[in-house]
């Protein structure tokens, strides 16, 4: 089911998963988890600033205790095209 923001734009759920593994990298973190649909997900997070070892450790611990819900916004034109593809006009 699509969610709507205040501007009337629809968001379509892409994934919902709980983080099982957090791997720090030099530029951020890789988060892995399994969704309620049984699929495995990978989310890479890149930081544009350096962080010290202690901060990286704390962030990794916090992220390992998180759940993620991702959705993407449907553009109006995209919805119209999808509707036309789903119900093409009949040609004589």
**Where do the structural domains in the chain lie, given as residue ranges?**
3-86
Residue 79 pLDDT greater than 90, yes or no: no
- Asked whether the beta carbons of 66 and 52 are under 8 A apart, the reply is no
| Helix H or strand E segment including 87 | none
Phi, psi values for residue 91, rounded to 5°:
-100, 145
Residue 36 pLDDT greater than 70, yes or no: yes
| Residue where the block lists tokens 């994934």 | 15
Model confidence at 92, in pLDDT bands (50, 70, 90)? very low
Please indicate whether residue 48 or residue 74 has the higher confidence score (pLDDT). Answer: 48
Residue 66 pLDDT greater than 50, yes or no: yes
Model confidence at 32, in pLDDT bands (50, 70, 90)? very high
Residue 15 pLDDT greater than 80, yes or no: yes
């Amino acid at each position: 089911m699509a969610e709507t923001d205040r501007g009337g734009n629809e968001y379509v759920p892409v994934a919902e998963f709980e983080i099982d593994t957090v791997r720090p990298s030099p530029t951020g973190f890789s988060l892995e988890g399994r969704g309620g649909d049984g699929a495995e997900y990978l989310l890479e997070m890149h930081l544009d600033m350096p962080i010290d070892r202690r901060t990286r450790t704390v962030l990794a611990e916090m992220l390992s205790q998180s759940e993620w819900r991702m959705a993407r916004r449907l553009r109006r034109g995209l919805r119209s095209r999808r509707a036309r593809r789903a119900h093409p006009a009949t040609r004589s």
